[in-house]
Structure 1
Amino acid sequence: MPSYYLNRTPQPNGTYEVHALGCPRLPLYRIHLGEFAQARDALHIAQRHYAPAQVCPRCTAEQTRR
């Protein structure tokens, strides 16, 4: 299962992005959310503790190709 991280710096729209380990956009300053089978599970944890959050579009596209 991939590890997921939350960017500590918000996007211009105020949301925080969830990234999978290996994402080219994975930030240096991040919070480890845990290992999850699906990005949506990591997003659920991120929103519960660090809302507002969204999954990185690149990570979502990568997951749908698997």
Structure 2
Amino acid sequence: MWSIIIPIVTLIIGLVGGFFIGVFYLKRQMEKMQNNPEMLQKMAKQMGYNMNKQQMNKVQNMMKNQKWK
């Protein structure tokens, strides 16, 4: 019986832990991006967008108004 319960419990703990680590990493990356316009430009190009300076300022202002914490 324990040979079934322990793997299931460790799987659940691993999934929950991985989720929270992923959220923490994503928040840190987003905080870095709002201060680094080159990183934002690179991300936009990877998604297929080519943003001009005005659009870039608008995105940065929107990100600064977000509450990441």
State TM-score, norm by structure 2.
0.29
Which structure is higher in RCO with an 8 Å CA cutoff and minimum separation 6? 1
Q: Which has the higher helix share?
A: 2
Q: Which has the higher strand share?
A: 1
Instruction: Name the larger-Rg structure.
Output: 2
State TM-score, norm by structure 1.
0.30
